[in-house]
């Protein structure tokens, strides 16, 4: 959710700045009648961006390799977004005004359509980019949380844009972009690392149990956000505090008129610093709660002991029809086997409670995903039992009357694929 909020806020503020600059310029130059075309362009771009987001949501990619490539592309987009804004920020206003002036000078409806197309393309760039990045973020998090974070971020961005151009909110934009750039660089790094994690799961890159154990907590937002974003927030607040201290020293050495001006600037800077520190504190508290919750849920779930009859294990279908992850223990000879069953849209997922990369560390359920307890990899429920990555090692099964039947010999044979 945090990544979604930050990304939506950053992209939303950039789009708000573009639209705001255009509206202010049109009003200032006596071309207010063209403002409606700017609003039409922004609305059309927002609608198309939402369409892209819905299409990506419906386009469920289940192959780890392609998911990894999408994550790597998304991380590149985040970096280019940061570089683009930092590079053009100083001249953005002049460049936009020059282009708007060129379109507004056209005769008749050509001026309105020129403004419409310019705003449409500028806002669509931000919206489509946000949709693709958020789809990549959603691959390693709950979909609902991503949508909630996106709505919150866009809402905050719209509010910032409105209040900023109405003159009721004084936002030091250079500081805003400095803070979000620093944290989004961490988000980009995490997306890239998650992409490599997915490529390792797909065996497109070499992988091992140790590697997955090191990368897993980072890509699943536990250790990574808790430590790195805490450090980034602390450093940014410390920098603001040092800037305020230097400004106070300069104020003491200034004349009376200049002192009043500096004092006013320092008050605004202190308010910004307090707001930044408060925001960091809220983020840290939320991350801490999420970290503790994730740790509490990572305990191994209990398994029910079942007994084989001949070469068969029979599990009543009524016991596994609820869509929850069910774990079982069975003893075959001198070997204790642990397997799982979960109801899928197209049948039942039956597999060992182990995978070909992380071994017999087991799984737990988290919402619509099954989570590897070793590396934190999220397994999409419809793919449980399929070949590849951290998917549980599949075991064939069939229904017989009111039972789900597994062969003990198939369970024993599947254990040969568990790495030692």
Q: What is the pLDDT of residue 404?
A: 95
Q: What is the pLDDT of residue 266?
A: 67
Determine contact, residues 334/344, Cβ cutoff 8 Å.
no
Domains of the chain: 2-221 (no CATH), 304-417 (2.102.10.10)
Angle, helix 2-28 to helix 64-104, in steps of 10 degrees: 10
Q: What is the pLDDT of residue 179?
A: 64
Q: What is the pLDDT of residue 273?
A: 59
- Segments in the chain below pLDDT 70: 1-4, 6, 10, 56-65, 84-86, 88-90, 135-145, 147, 163-180, 182-184, 207-209, 213-214, 216-262, 265-300, 388-389, 420
Place of tokens 């683009």: 84
Q: What is the pLDDT of residue 375?
A: 76
Q: Residue 199: which of 214, 217, 212 has the closest Cα? A: 212
Q: What is the pLDDT of residue 241?
A: 62
């Amino acid at each position: 959710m945090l990544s979604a909020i930050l990304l939506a806020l950053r992209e939303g503020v950039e789009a708000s700045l573009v639209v705001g600059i255009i509206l202010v310029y049109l009003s200032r130059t006596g071309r207010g009648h063209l403002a409606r075309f700017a609003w039409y362009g922004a609305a059309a771009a927002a609608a198309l961006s939402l369409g892209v987001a819905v299409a990506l949501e419906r386009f469920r990619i289940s192959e780890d390799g392609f998911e990894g490539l999408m994550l790597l592309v998304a991380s590149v987009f985040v970096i280019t977004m940061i570089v683009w804004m930092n590079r053009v920020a100083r001249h953005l206003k002049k460049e936009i005004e020059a282009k708007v002036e060129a379109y507004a000078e056209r005769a008749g409806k050509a001026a309105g359509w020129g403004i419409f197309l310019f705003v449409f393309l500028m806002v669509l760039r931000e919206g489509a980019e946000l949709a693709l990045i958020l789809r990549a973020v959603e691959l390693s998090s709950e979909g609902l949380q991503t949508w909630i974070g996106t709505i919150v971020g866009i809402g905050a961005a719209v509010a910032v844009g409105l209040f900023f151009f109405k003159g009721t909110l004084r936002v030091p934009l250079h500081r805003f972009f400095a803070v979000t750039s620093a944290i989004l660089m961490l988000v980009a790094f995490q997306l890239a690392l998650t992409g490599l994690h997915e490529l390792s799961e797909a065996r497109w890159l070499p992988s091992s149990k140790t590697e997955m154990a090191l990368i897993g907590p980072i890509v699943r937002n536990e250790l990574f956000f808790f430590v790195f974003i805490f450090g980034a927030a602390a450093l940014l607040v410390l920098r603001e505090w040092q800037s305020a201290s230097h400004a106070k020293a300069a104020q003491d050495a200034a004349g009376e008129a200049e002192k009043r001006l500096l004092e006013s600037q320092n008050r605004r800077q202190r308010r910004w610093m307090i707001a930044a520190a408060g925001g960091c504190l809220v983020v840290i508290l939320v991350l801490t709660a999420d970290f503790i919750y994730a740790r509490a849920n990572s305990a191994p779930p209990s398994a029910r002991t079942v007994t084989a009859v001949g070469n068969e294990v029979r599990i009543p279908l009524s016991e596994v029809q609820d869509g929850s992850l069910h774990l079982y223990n069975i003893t075959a000879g001198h070997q204790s086997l642990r397997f799982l069953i979960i109801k899928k849209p197209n049948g039942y997922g039956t597999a060992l409670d182990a995978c070909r990369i992380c071994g017999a560390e087991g799984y737990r359920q988290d919402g619509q995903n099954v989570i590897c307890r070793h590396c934190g990899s999220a397994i999409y429920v419809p793919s449980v039992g399929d070949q590849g990555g951290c998917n549980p090692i599949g075991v064939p099964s069939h229904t017989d009357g009111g039972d789900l039947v597994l062969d003990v010999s198939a369970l024993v044979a599947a254990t040969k694929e568990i790495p030692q």
